[in-house]
Structure 1
Amino acid sequence: MKLAEYLARRRRARVAAVMLFALIMGFVSAAPPVVTGCQAQDLTPAPDTSMLSPAVSALAQEQQEPAAQPLPEKWVCLTFDDGPSKTTPDVLSALNAAGVHATFFVVATGYNEKYLPLLTEAVSAGHQIALHSASHEYSDIYRSSDAYWEDIALLKERIAPYVDAESIRYLRFPGGSTNTVSRRYGGKGLMKQLKAEVEQKGWHWVDWNVCAEDAVGGHPSADTIYRNVVRETGQQTNCIVLMHDSATTRTTAEALPDIIRWYADNGYTFLTVAEALPIG
């Protein structure tokens, strides 16, 4: 082999190696997709990353544009779905005792009507109220875009006596933004349409990247819920934790003091979703 040809091959190899390294680093540095591991029967096994959740989008934007008030390096949002219920007072008690504010993605099914006044108490204590569903019946809310927004309108109507429902601009889709159950009723493209419509309103839809797995069958113990949260947090520095304050998840309230203590001991700042993902 001639020396010139040998040197040319070496140069090409070095260029290829540099390009491969850059590609790998770009992938590793990218914001992680939101993990949707709860209630797997209703969620997409591989999350749809073609449209990242507001949590991930906000983190990416933060890296590109300096914020007026930058977020802490490590932060966590404790979020609770499917309340208020008989479990909610214990959840509020644990949060208030620790001086921690959380976000509640609420329902108003008719079965929990007597607990709706707890929303006023939660707001007074500094917690955030966000939208989840009036019925939480997949077959009803995911029939079409119109059916989904009718459900949201009914939810707002039912909680309006207790909170300023019209000012709420954050929501969580039942089953998460990558659920597959919606396809049975509204077709494969429904979730993409709904996410686009939420964003057109200037709202945020919010998933999670840590799941307590407290709503699975078998009623997990408080210790199991605690371990699930710690395990799924891993090395993540920005976390949105999915928990529940439904009538069947009383052990979540029992686990909450230990969960709060663990995040505090590991240097996390507690934020509401609105604080972590502000709407401009």
Structure 2
Amino acid sequence: MKLFVRRTGGRIGLWGGLLAAALAAFAAGWLVPVRAPAGCKLNELTAAPDFSPFSPAAPVVAASDAGTPAAPSLPEKWVCLTFDDGPSKTTPEVLAALDAAGVHGTFFVVATGYNEKYLPLLTQAAAAGHQIALHSASHEYSDIYRSSAAYWKDITLLKERIAPYVDAENIRYLRFPGGSTNTVSRRYGGKGLMPQLKTEVEQRGWQWVDWNVCAEDAVGGHPSADTIYRNVVRETGEQTHCVVLMHDSATTRTTAEALPDIIRWYTDNGYTFLTVAETLPLG
């Protein structure tokens, strides 16, 4: 897989190549959940991206197009550790593992009502230097992907719910539930919805973020810490610019257990740990 850079109005956008391994029941259409299962393997959530508007990433230190400010100089090898679906009862363990290693992560958070009592942990995470980004208030595909208006209503609600704990008004990074190329959204909002939402995010001067390494920590069967570690190493392969998708939910406790080994492996292989905002600063 390759990491892709997108230029939109002088901004650089991050595109993660997504995995495409289908589960038979979904391919056959036997299971149609309202809330999409977490993970990286479901075909509807990891459809093959349309690369036509993208080009393979050039070295980030290269000069930009004429008339566009040069991109910031970044290390030759870097990795962003990103966590979806928190905060939760697992968050303190994730934060402890990151803080022990002196590494900052990026948290794409939810505020579903079920995790309301954990939202104060966002203050702790932000104070420690971790990036807080937007994911969804409800994470219910049937709700958020009905229309553009429904999606932005969900984002507005998410910002309202996390505002007591972080500077929500100035958060401009988000991750679409299911990723920017999911096809499950077509069931509710039609084929043109995701392209429309991506355009609207960019028009706001915001940044949507995918991934190109998946820990597969939220798939069925509750994978062990060792399995999660091996998944990350395998998915990274020879890539030098990595955005790793992990989860920070109540059901992914082994992710925190795997983090020390994951961090050690990236360190031993010469990667610098960055937040998403550090790799893609917005003007």
Q: TM-score, normalised by structure 1?
A: 0.84
CA-based RMSD: 2.1
Match of 1:251 in 2: 254
Match of 2:102 in 1: 99
Alpha-carbon distance, 1:58 to partner: 7.5
**Consecutive unaligned residues in structure 1, runs of 5 or more:** 1-27
Pick from 129, 133, 137 the counterpart of residue 132 of structure 2: 129
Alpha-carbon distance, 1:45 to partner: 3.1
Cα 1:183–1:74 change in 2 (3 A) is same
The DSSP-based 3-state class of the residue aligned with 1:260 is: helix
In the alignment, the residues of structure 1 paired with residue 205 and residue 74 of structure 2 have an alpha-carbon distance, to the nearest angstrom, of: 21
Q: Does 1:175 align with 2:178?
A: yes
**Consecutive unaligned residues in structure 2, runs of 5 or more:** 6-13, 20-39
Match of 1:40 in 2: 42
The DSSP-based 3-state class of the residue aligned with 1:63 is: coil
In the alignment, the residues of structure 2 paired with residue 259 and residue 44 of structure 1 have an alpha-carbon distance, to the nearest angstrom, of: 23
Alpha-carbon distance, 1:46 to partner: 1.4
Match of 1:241 in 2: 244
Match of 1:88 in 2: 91
Q: Does 1:276 align with 2:276?
A: no
Structure 2 matches for 1:90-239, cutoff 5 A?
90-239=93-242
Confirm or deny: 8 A CA contact 1:39 1:215 kept in the other structure. no
Confirm or deny: 8 A CA contact 1:117 1:162 kept in the other structure. yes
Pick from 68, 73, 78 the counterpart of residue 76 of structure 2: 73
Return the letter of the residue paired with 1:176. G
In the alignment, the residues of structure 2 paired with residue 58 and residue 156 of structure 1 have an alpha-carbon distance, to the nearest angstrom, of: 32
Return the letter of the residue paired with 2:62. Q
The structure that is helix-richer by fraction is: 1
Cα 1:134–1:195 change in 2 (3 A) is same
The DSSP-based 3-state class of the residue aligned with 1:235 is: coil
The DSSP-based 3-state class of the residue aligned with 1:97 is: helix
Alpha-carbon distance, 1:68 to partner: 6.5
Larger Rg: 1
The DSSP-based 3-state class of the residue aligned with 1:247 is: coil
The structure that is strand-richer by fraction is: 2
Cα 1:59–1:93 change in 2 (3 A) is farther
* 4+ runs deviating over 2 angstroms: 28-35, 56-64, 66-69
Cα 1:51–1:214 change in 2 (3 A) is farther
In the alignment, the residues of structure 2 paired with residue 227 and residue 35 of structure 1 have an alpha-carbon distance, to the nearest angstrom, of: 19
For residues 167-199 of structure 1, what are the alpha-carbon distances to aligned partners after superposition, in whole Å with 9 as ceiling and x for unaligned? 000000000000010000000000000000000
Match of 1:3 in 2: none
Cα 1:207–1:260 change in 2 (3 A) is same
Structure 2 matches for 1:7-46, cutoff 5 A?
34-37=16-19, 38-46=40-48
Alpha-carbon distance, 1:63 to partner: 3.5
Matched positions, count? 250
